[in-house]
């Protein structure tokens, strides 16, 4: 395929051959003007992208850890603080960068939704995050896709994971 760093996922778009999830998301964001319109919005996108990826990795490491049951209480203990930070960052905005959706909202949805599956009540104290989830799922193309047989909400992780593999 001629990929610089052969990996999944990958995207071939014309002459562009891209690997790495975030590189693909950023490319698509630039292509479709979903990276923020002002410098302030772009900064918010950059900050949140990195914060979300850090949190995504913490959950993934936990779910693949052989000591999952032993480590789970520690994760659950810090989860409300993590959700509070996301809630404060979102504030009263409809989307994390501002009034228009950006590619980072797709990552935010994924991270928030995974945590909600992990701990069903983790968003209960944060109505703006619950509203964000509903707003995202209510987008016509997202909603339509989620109703198809192509949409696979689970598994979240591969079969090697201790949790989230079924």
DSSP per residue, 98-122: SSS--HHHHHHHHHHHHHHHHSTTT
Q: How many CA atoms, within 13 angstroms, populate the side-chain half-sphere of residue 27?
A: 14
Same-domain check for residues 89 and 123: yes
Tell me which of 153 and 25 has the higher pLDDT.
25
Whether residue 166 lies inside any domain: the answer is no
Q: What is the domain-level CATH number for residue 108?
A: 1.20.1050.10
Same domain, 59 and 8: no
Q: Give per-residue pLDDT as tens, 148-164.
A: 999 988 888 888 888 88
Q: Give dist(CA 89, CA 97) in Å, integer.
A: 9
Model pTM score = 0.92
In three-state secondary structure terms, 47 is: helix
Whose tokens are 């760093």? That residue is: 5
151 within domain boundaries:
no
Per-residue pLDDT at 166? 75
Kindly report the average pLDDT of the chain as a whole number. 95
Q: Are 119 and 126 in contact (CB under 8 A)?
A: no
Segment 18-47 mean pLDDT: 96
Inter-CA distances, 127 with 60, 163, 164, Å: 25, 27, 25
Query: Within 13 Å, how many C-alpha atoms sit on residue 87's CB side?
Result: 16
Judged against a pLDDT cut of 80, whether residue 165 lies above it is answered with no
What pLDDT sits at residue 155? 80
The number of folded domains in the chain is: 2
pLDDT exceeds 80 at position 145:
yes
Average pLDDT over residues 3-32: 95
Look up the domain containing 23 and give its range.
1-32
Residues 15 and 43 in one domain: no
Predicted local distance difference test score (pLDDT) of residue 136: 98
The pLDDT assigned to 159 comes to: 85
pLDDT confidence of residue 164: 82
Asked if the structure places residue 106 within a domain, the reply is yes
In this structure, are 4 and 43 located in the same domain?
no
User: Following DSSP, what letter does each residue of 54-115 receive, concatenated?
Assistant: HHHHHHHHHHH-TTHHHHHHHHHHHHHHHHHHHHHHHTT-SSSSSSS--HHHHHHHHHHHHH
79 and 137 fall within a common domain: yes
158 lies in some domain: no
**pLDDT tens by residue, 64-113:** 999 999 999 999 999 999 999 999 999 999 999 999 999 999 999 999 99
User: Are both 4 and 78 inside the same structural domain?
Assistant: no
pLDDT reported for residue 153: 81
């Amino acid at each position: 395929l001629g990929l610089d760093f052969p990996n999944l996922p990958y995207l071939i778009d014309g002459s562009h051959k891209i690997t790495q999830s975030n590189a693909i998301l950023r490319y698509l964001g630039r292509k479709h003007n979903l990276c923020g319109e002002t410098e302030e919005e772009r900064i918010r996108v950059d900050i949140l992208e990195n914060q979300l990826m850090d949190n995504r990795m913490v959950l993934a490491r936990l779910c693949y850890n052989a000591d999952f049951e032993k480590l789970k209480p520690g994760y659950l203990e810090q989860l409300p603080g993590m959700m509070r930070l996301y809630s404060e960052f979102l504030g009263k905005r409809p989307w994390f960068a501002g009034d228009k959706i950006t590619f980072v909202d797709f990552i935010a949805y994924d991270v928030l939704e995974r945590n909600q599956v992990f701990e069903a009540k983790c968003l209960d104290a944060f109505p703006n995050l619950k509203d964000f989830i509903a707003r995202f799922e209510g987008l016509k193309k997202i909603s339509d896709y989620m109703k198809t047989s192509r949409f696979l909400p689970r598994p979240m992780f591969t079969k090697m994971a201790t949790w989230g593999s079924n």
